[in-house]
Amino acid sequence: MSQPLLPPDSAVDIAAAVREGRLSAHAVVEEHLARIGRVNPAVNALTLVFADRARTAAAEVDAALTAGRDPGPLAGVPISVKENIDLTWSATTNGWRGLADAVPARDATIVRRLRDAGAVPVARGNMPDFGMRWDTDNDVFGRTMNPWNRERSAGGSSGGDAVAVATGMSAIGLGNDFGGSLRLPAYAAGVVGLRPSLGRVPRAAVQGQPVALTLQQFSVNGPMARRVDDVALALRVMQGWDADDPVSVAAPELRPDQVPRRVGVVRDPAGLAVDAEVAGGIDRAAASVIRAGWEVVDVDAPLLEEAAVLWRRLSCTDMLISLDPAALGQPLGRSATAFLRDSTAAARPYESARDYAEAWARRAAIVAEWRRLLVDVPVILGPVSTSRMREPDYDLGGQDAADRAWRDLWLTVVVNFLGLPALALPTGLGADGLPTGVQLIGASFGEEVLFEAGRIVEAGVPALPPIPPLG
């Protein structure tokens, strides 16, 4: 048996090496555990490490191979699991003290599917209380640091898993995206993040408890990894109908050969100022697809500001109800309390049932506008954020800070409002030493189209250094 691959490496390569007998799952897990021991103290991305359980799971993969059984397409691949996704190995805390003892009775469907495919959970990923912020900090586990620059935010809310992937502590990070919570930390950390189409990947089991309408319609579970092929593999394992999630479906497949090879570029969402480094990343991505023979046209994102406002007002209306300390039994953490106060004050939550219902009714008209655009232009290329990653706690500090953080992400949160898939990926290192990046937005269930375009961008832009400075 050869020496283990030195992380970071791609999930596809790790699984192939284990399945072909070039590496043992045990060696892969030991290498990742050793890296966690060296790196995590500097970045605080992982909240709990499953050293013994991970070794046992790796031994089961190796035993299956020895016995001639197929261990699955993700054989021996180390994964991290965000603190709000059920894994029976620890409490699903949601980053909040009130759930410190909430150990689930069973794994979330996506965790079970990944484990059945041979993946090995090695740790939990950090997050803000209930995923509410665009930064990653809480009173239980503390702050996750950006591995490229400690003076910049790691993004949120899936910041722990993004940093774990970027620094090679896990090969796939499981997170979720209600308002950019996969794509923003992927942009910050320089990794690939997939927000799947609404319904394609099961979410938390619904067992008799009410679920806010915005959570039903805006939030999805999804993977982060180092390469486009890695998230594509993870999606194939995670996707599919689940009896416990009433929104989940057996998704139809929109294939690349069914759509025009055309990309619409949103260079300046709604006339907002776009940082020069962000614009450079968009230009590099557009040039990559042009060289591959795709047509590139400039487009305006339909009704962008209206959709972003509706997303924010609907979300804050529901958050005020679902995260009421009186209902929770104890208050949120310090930073989450400030974020909820500032964001809801700036957003003007709906006060009447009529206004709330009319906002949802308006959504249908906006979705139709985007559907018509995506028939002609099946991939939209634009920024994840119109700014570079800002300072830690940039989304706190009053209504002005809350407004600024939200405006940076108009194109990102509108994807959640519409239920569309989006793929965030890096486009090289900026002059400021931080990763640049873009997102590709597609039609519902058009993930394979996004993967084809994403592979082209990935191959056509400068590669990031293999390990961030803090790695």
Q: Which of 10, 157, 288, 385 is catalytic?
A: 157
Q: Let me know how many helices (H) and strands (E) the chain has, helices first.
A: 16, 11
Q: Are 55 and 62 in contact (CB under 8 A)?
A: no
10, 90, 181, 315: which is the annotated catalytic residue?
A: 181
On whether the CB atoms of residues 73 and 118 are closer than 8 A, the answer is: yes
List all residues 6 or more positions away from 442 whose beta carbon is below 8 Å from its beta carbon: 254, 374, 378, 379, 380, 420, 421, 422, 423, 449, 450
Helical segments of 68-182, H only = 109-116, 159-166
Show Cβ contacts of residue 378 under 8 Å, excluding neighbours closer than 6 positions: 254, 259, 260, 262, 442, 443, 446, 449
Stretch (H or E) spanning 439: strand 435-442
Residue from 10, 24, 80, 82 carrying the catalytic annotation? 82
Q: Is 2 a catalytic residue?
A: no
Of 177, 220, 25, whose CA–CA distance to 11 is shortest? 25
Whether 335 is catalytic is no
Q: How far apart are CA 177 and CA 134, in angstroms?
A: 11
Residues 6+ positions from 351 with CB-CB distance below 8 Å: none
To the query of whether residue 82 is one of the catalytic residues in this protein, the response is yes
Q: What angle do CA 21, 109, 97 make, to 5 degrees?
A: 110
- Token duo for residue 471: 């790695």
Determine how β-strand 262-265 pairs with β-strand 379-382: parallel
Contact 124, 84 (CB under 8 A): no
Identify the burial level of 104 via C-beta atoms within 10 angstroms of its C-beta, where 0-12 means exposed, 13-18 middle and 19 or more buried.
middle
Count of CA atoms in the C-beta half-sphere (13 A) of 455: 10
Q: Which residues have a catalytic role annotated?
A: 82, 157, 181
